[in-house]
Every structure is written in structure tokens, then in C-alpha cells.
Amino acid sequence: MKILLVGAGGVGDAIAKIAAQRSFYESIIISDYDESRARRTRDWIVARHGEHVGARFSTAQIDASNSEAVAALVRDLAVTHVMNAVEPKFVESIFAGARAAGADYLDMAMSLSHPHPEHPHTQTGIKLGDAQFAEAQQWEAEGRLALVGMGVEPGMSDVFARYAVDHLFSEVEELGTRDGANLVVTDEEGNEIFAPSFSIWTTIEECLNPPVIWEQARGWYTTEPFSEPEVFTFPAGIGPVECVNVEHEEVLLMPRWLSAKRVTFKYGLGAEFIGVLRTLNLLGLDSVKPVRVRSANGPVEVVPRDVVAASLPDPAQIGPRMTGKTCAGVWVTGWGLDGQPREVYLYHVSDNAWTMAEYNTQCVVWQTALNPVIALELLATGVWAGAGVRGPESFDAKPFLDLMALPVEDGGYGQAWGLEEREPSVGVR
């Protein structure tokens, strides 16, 4: 296995750092539009693990928006697997480049959606991943695999869902991905500040798009942003967080392979963050349409959303001033193997103090990066195999979760996951 890692931003950097501790691949080419970022990641690996590990890593410059450039690099370097770790707007060009050059492909976010032109808050338009699933037959016919949505959410969440369906339930009512955290960022004086742990630009996009829901009787449909608020209690001391519907890949993936009455995704944004996003929308500050504004050098045109991003701390820089944990998981309701009502939350928690100490990476980014490395290892060892455009839930979940939880000294990733039994409310819901 020869991996082309596209993107050495936060998640790409963490993927390389995690993979540096594994031996399932021949080599990894870390590529970025700005090759110095790729070199910085490789330098960290050499400093941490020595030249013998660093020797399996090289760097390259890449233009991810150009599918032909991606294909050329894949061919030149005899790449077998393209690991996409850049912004979702580049999904289609990298996906096309990998296929053109005959490589397998993995990503952590799917091709972008476009709302329904007339009824955006009730009907879907072009859905997340539609552009990729449109080519599923060709990938399958060519015997190549595109494993899409293989981060933490989507990714680990889909693996949990498959595990629940196979091993915990006889019939599933709802597969509800639920994500929450208790992260706090402080300034130099130790005062808590508003500093999202991920790009506000992308968060605005994600949260203001119409959320999508799937129901067996209705198929996919959309709602108003921030719909169906619910307080979900997260484990590991995180506690109750206000969650709302957000457009996310799980809802588009799970129903294709798993049987459930309803599939949802709710993000634990918290009341404050939801309020901020609503206000940005109300004032038009989420807009990507430039406005004319005065400056010291005369009138200029800027995009309000860019100004919002520029006014906040850079999420890549806040790790050292952040404390707390982030939790990703799936809340499953239905009937257990014994036919009795059952409700469980399957989850994984990532602690910022630990990820910063071990990887110099903040915990949200690190948790995302963990999963594609495990998936690549399962593909390299032949435990997972297949062709076509496939979600994580189309593969057996058990070997993934076993390898993830196995202690490092026994050859695993040492990342325990949890199963919390909850008081079932099926039937009354």
C-alpha cells in the first residue's frame, strides 16, 4: 500500500502522525498546495520517531482542485490509495483524479449539497455525496474502492451504527449520531473566550444548510436550520449539551446499508453557539457575497464571512489554550436481541490534554484523523475488502472496533470505546 495523503492541514497532519506509529503500508506521500506544510509534518515525525520512520514519508506539492494534476501524481508515484484530507469543496476533483489513475480512494466528508431551489426546508435538492454515488457503478465495474465518509463523524459513527445493528438489536427504531464536547478556550490571562475548535467558515456552511433527516416511510427530507433542539447527556463528565439537527453525511450513508426507521444527526453546538450562528445569519454576516466597506486605503470589497473568521482565533492555534473532552457516538433505540426495548449510546471520547501531549494536535482534529488510519490498516491487511462507492457501515464493524480498542502493546490503537445502556423509551417516543 502506497498512500497519497492530500492535505497537510490539521487533520492531514494528524493522520500522518498517527500512521507513523503503524507499519501496514509501504510509504506515505504527504502533499499540500503549500508543500512547506507537508514538510513541517514530516519534520515532526522525524524529530519524534527518528529517520528510520521518517524514511517512509515523503512530501509533494499538489493542486487538489485539478483532477488531472491529482491523477498525474498518483501515476508518477505509483500510489495505490488516495487519502483526501482537504476541504470538502475539493472532493469531486480528488475523487475523479484517483479514479482516472486507478487508485482506491478515501475521504472524511462527501461531495457538497445544494438546497432544493423552491422548498429548501422540506425537500432535499442535491444531497451530500450524490455526485460520488452517481459513479458507484463505474467504481465497482473497475474493481476499485471509494470508501467515503471515513473520519470520526461520519466514519466512526457509521461503524458504531453497523455494530449496533449486527450485535445489539433485533430491530432499530433510530440511529441518531450525537456529538458533544465541554471544550473551553482561554486567553493569555486565563479568561474564557469564544473560539470554535473548528473553522467557523465551514461551521456556518454546515449549520445553516437545511438539515437532512431520513425516515423509512418518507425517505430523505429537510427541515429549518437548528430544528428539533434536544438536550443530550454525554458521558465522561461532559454532561448535558443542547443538540440540534445539522446536515451531515451519516444520514445519507446509514440508510443505504442499515435497516432503521429513522436516521438523524444532531450536533451539540450548545445554546451559545447556536445563538451566535443565528445572529450571524440574521445580520447577513454569514454571507459570502462581498460588501463594500471603507478602509484606510479607500473603499474595498470583502466577504462578511471572511471578516468573521478573521476576527476569531485561528482554530489550528488554540490547542495549547484549550481544555476539555470531545465525544462522538451513536444513540441507538429499538428492540434488543431478546425482543425487549433497548437504548444504547456507543461512543468514543478524545481528551485535549492527551492529544496535545502525544501529538501536538487538538482533540477534535485528532479524533477525526484516527479513523481513516484504522480503515487503511484493515484494507492493507485484507480484513476489509470491496469495490464501489461505499460507506464505513458497509464493512464489518467488529474488526475495526477491536483493533481500535486493543492496547498499543498488543498491536492495537489503544483507544477504548464505550457502550452506555440507557433507560429505553421506545414506544412512548
Residues that bind its own copies (CB under 8 A): 194, 275-276, 279-280, 282-285, 287, 290-297, 300-304, 306-308, 310-312
Residue 315: CB minimum distance to its own copies, A:
14
User: Which residue, 78 or 307, has its beta carbon nearer to its own copies?
Assistant: 307
User: Which residue, 301 or 338, has its beta carbon nearer to its own copies?
Assistant: 301
User: Which residue, 204 or 212, has its beta carbon nearer to its own copies?
Assistant: 204
Residue 278: CB minimum distance to its own copies, A:
9
Residue 187: CB minimum distance to its own copies, A:
11
Question: Strands 219-222 and 230-234: what pairing?
Answer: unpaired
Q: Buried (b) or exposed (e) across 57-93, using 16+ Cβ within 10 A?
A: bebbebebeebeebbebbeebebbbbbbbbbbebbbb
Residue 183: CB minimum distance to its own copies, A:
16
The set of residues, in sequence order, having a beta carbon less than 8 Å from that of 84 and lying 6+ positions away, is: 6, 7, 64, 90, 91, 94, 95, 105, 106, 107, 108
User: Which residue, 56 or 121, has its beta carbon nearer to its own copies?
Assistant: 121
User: Which residue, 226 or 395, has its beta carbon nearer to its own copies?
Assistant: 226
Residue 262: CB minimum distance to its own copies, A:
32
* Alpha-carbon span 75 to 63, nearest angstrom: 15
Q: How many CA atoms lie within 13 A of 427 on its CB side?
A: 9
Residue 146: CB minimum distance to its own copies, A:
32
Residue type, 210: P
* Alpha-carbon span 24 to 377, nearest angstrom: 6
Phi/psi region, residue 143 (left: phi>0; alpha: psi -120 to 50; beta: rest), is left
Residue 202: CB minimum distance to its own copies, A:
16
User: Which residue, 131 or 303, has its beta carbon nearer to its own copies?
Assistant: 303
The closest of 283, 280, 301 to 292, measured between CA atoms, is 301
User: Which residue, 46 or 312, has its beta carbon nearer to its own copies?
Assistant: 312
DSSP-assigned states of every residue in 328-393: EEEEEEEEETTSSEEEEEEEEEEEHHHHHHHHS--HHHHHHHHHHHHHHHHHHTTSS---EEE-GG
User: Which residue, 258 or 280, has its beta carbon nearer to its own copies?
Assistant: 280
Residue 116: CB minimum distance to its own copies, A:
18
Residue 271: CB minimum distance to its own copies, A:
11
Residue type, 21: Q
* Alpha-carbon span 231 to 349, nearest angstrom: 18
Pair 408, 144: CB distance under 8 Å: no
* Alpha-carbon span 358 to 198, nearest angstrom: 20
User: Which residue, 154 or 304, has its beta carbon nearer to its own copies?
Assistant: 304
Grid cell in block for residue 56:
517512509
Sign for the pseudo-dihedral over CA of 184, 326, 381, 6? negative
The closest of 208, 261, 269 to 244, measured between CA atoms, is 269
